[in-house]
Amino acid sequence: MNYTDRIARQVAGIPRSGIRDFFELVLGRDDVISLGVGEPDYSAPWHIREAAIYSLEKGQTSYTSNLGLLSLRKSIAAYVAKHFSVAYNPANEILVTVGVSEALDIACRALLNPGDEVIYHEPCYVSYSPSIAMAHGVPVVAETRVEDNFELKADAVAEKITPRTKLLMLNFPTNPTGAVQPAGELEKIAALAIQHDLIVISDEIYSELTYGGEDGMDRGEHTSIAGLPGMKERTILLHGFSKAFAMTGFRLGYACAPAELTEAMMKIHQYAMLCAPIMSQAAGIEALEHGDGPVEEMRRSYAQRRNLMLRRFAEMGVPCFPPGGAFYAFPDVRKFGLTSKEFALRLLEEESVAVVPGNAFGAAGEGLVRACYATAFDRLEVALERIGNFVSRLKA
């Protein structure tokens, strides 16, 4: 059978993730140190795992409300009020999802009609453009640049606004660049959203992992666009447990939004997913209520590894702007005269270190590579040693 014309056009048109393509090359190679996967090297803290175990022991193996356990939604409301200074009603403004991945998908599907345009910033997380396209929307890129420390300039957004623009998608701190957005520029973007009557989807999954102070060891400032004047009513705030709490496998996230938007997303979630796993939701309550200490410990450890990366790249003469958040370094390798992909492939072949070519995150990432430093300190040191050997050969 010829399947080509059976597959939906908007799906057939989506390229496979560049990360996946690259990592098929790494599979089965034990000699490789991977700085590729965007995942904490920690297991979830023990008290969180225990909460999931206890939930099972109690026989909690049922569905929950489609919105998620009310007790979890109450914990989310308290956590978001404390950390983001925005108040959401747990009864109808919070939806528990299967990771931020599902939340992104259903937010797009709930809001987009065919042909609606969505502005998002690149380089960005690989699922943004496909999530828009699968919802029949039109992805429109506003580029961020290394020269601006990958901040999103309000002017770059303004240039892309047309009468068809419906949504603006933001992600700060940003995967893959580690950029954080200064509050002043965020305010200008909020003003644009209000002026042009746009809805904002703000993915703040890395918001706990920020590096401030002289040496990057303090927790940096994070401003949520949802908390700016006039923005709560037009923002869908997405957050989850995967990164800060090291809970990727629990598949748990949430969307906070005005009741009518929450209801629209809930309808898709109800039919496509029904609910997030109950034992993950039980673990989520524990994470939000007692997880701040372990999160801070992990954040400080990432900060040390970030500083190691920056020090070593500087010694190698590889330009790398100091990331203000997440756990990625995004060094600029243009001076070696190789494309991102050539650099990454040769580094893998010659030194057995895997990094992701920057253009896997959009054309604006060309000339850079993403190195995730959520990797054990000693392995990171070896990986950096090997990268040093590689670039000194390139320079010779």
* Count of all residues that appear for the chain in the document: 396
Among 193, 205, 278, 320, binds ligand PLP (CB under 6 A): 205
Please tell me whether residue 151 binds ligand PLP under the rule CB under 6 A.
no
Please tell me whether residue 101 binds ligand PLP under the rule CB under 6 A.
yes
| Cβ proximity to ligand PLP, 207 vs 351, nearer residue | 207
Tell me how far, at minimum, the Cβ of 124 lies from ligand PLP, in Å. Answer: 7
Please tell me whether residue 325 binds ligand PLP under the rule CB under 6 A.
no
Q: Residue 187 class from Cβ within 10 Å (0-12 exposed, 13-18 middle, 19+ buried)?
A: middle
Contacts of 323 (CB under 8 A, 6+ apart): 173, 177, 178, 179, 211, 306, 329, 330
Is residue 384 within 8 Å of 309, Cβ to Cβ? yes
Among 90, 253, 323, 325, binds ligand PLP (CB under 6 A): 253
Cα dist. 123→150, 188, 270, 319, 391 in Å? 9, 21, 32, 17, 24
Please tell me whether residue 178 binds ligand PLP under the rule CB under 6 A.
no
Q: Which of residues 34-53 bind ligand PLP (CB under 6 A)?
A: 38
Is residue 309 within 8 Å of 373, Cβ to Cβ? yes
Judging by DSSP bridges, how do beta strands 328-329 and 369-372 pair with one another?
A: antiparallel
Tell me how far, at minimum, the Cβ of 390 lies from ligand PLP, in Å. Answer: 26
Tell me how far, at minimum, the Cβ of 194 lies from ligand PLP, in Å. Answer: 24
Tell me how far, at minimum, the Cβ of 337 lies from ligand PLP, in Å. Answer: 30
| Cβ proximity to ligand PLP, 101 vs 280, nearer residue | 101
Q: Which stretch binds ligand PLP (CB under 6 A): 28-36, 207-215, 240-248, 314-322?
A: 240-248
Q: How many residues belong to the site for ligand PLP (CB under 6 A)? A: 13
Nearest to 127 by CA among 203, 35, 179, 25: 203
Identify the DSSP state of 228: S
Please tell me whether residue 281 binds ligand PLP under the rule CB under 6 A.
no
Please tell me whether residue 17 binds ligand PLP under the rule CB under 6 A.
no
Handedness of CA 81, 87, 92, 95 (dihedral sign): negative
Q: Return d(Cα 110, Cα 133) in angstroms, integer.
A: 13
Tell me how far, at minimum, the Cβ of 242 lies from ligand PLP, in Å. Answer: 3
Q: What is the DSSP string of 66-80?
A: TT--HHHHHHHHHHH
Among 84, 120, 125, 327, binds ligand PLP (CB under 6 A): 125
Please tell me whether residue 131 binds ligand PLP under the rule CB under 6 A.
no
Please tell me whether residue 171 binds ligand PLP under the rule CB under 6 A.
yes
Q: Return d(Cα 203, Cα 181) in angstroms, integer.
A: 13
| Cβ proximity to ligand PLP, 127 vs 389, nearer residue | 127
List interacting residues with ligand PLP (CB under 6 A). 38, 99-101, 125, 171, 175, 203, 205, 240, 242, 248, 253
